[in-house]
Amino acid sequence: MAWQAQQLSLILDDRHKTLKRETPEQDLQQALAQHLEEPLSVTIQVQTFDAWQRQQTPAYRRQQADLERRQQALQNLRDDPLVQALQNTFAAVLDEKTLRLP
């Protein structure tokens, strides 16, 4: 991303190039101009991201945070005394695939 003299340049990973369409780009430009109360131009370039660049995106960070939350929730369930008692008494099995987080 680069911001220079009322020009905003964004980079889109080529794995998501189908998202680059004229109407959303224009909508973004109009919304930003309205919010900033000044005219500006938005361009979106498509390029191939390497592994490091992909790890720097908000989407990747959100995905990693969600994964960590899920892993922590599973560990909390495994460590829960009630769950352990159910497993020991009734041979219950924790179906980890069914865990849904809000």
Q: Distance of alpha carbon 81 from its chain centroid, rounded? A: 33
Q: What pLDDT is recorded for position 91?
A: 96
CB 2 within 8 A of CB 45: no
CB 42 within 8 A of CB 25: yes
Q: What pLDDT is recorded for position 2?
A: 65
Nearest to 10 by CA among 41, 55, 39: 41
Q: What pLDDT is recorded for position 25?
A: 86
Residue-wise pLDDT tens digits, 58-101: 888 999 999 999 999 999 999 999 999 999 999 999 999 999 99
Residue-wise pLDDT tens digits, 25-69: 899 999 999 998 889 999 899 998 888 888 888 888 999 999 999
Phi and psi for 57 in degrees, rounded to 5?
A: -80, 150
**Residue 3 scores a pLDDT above 90:** no
Q: What pLDDT is recorded for position 73?
A: 97
Residue 2, CA distances (Å) to 40, 47, 57, 89 in order: 13, 15, 15, 60
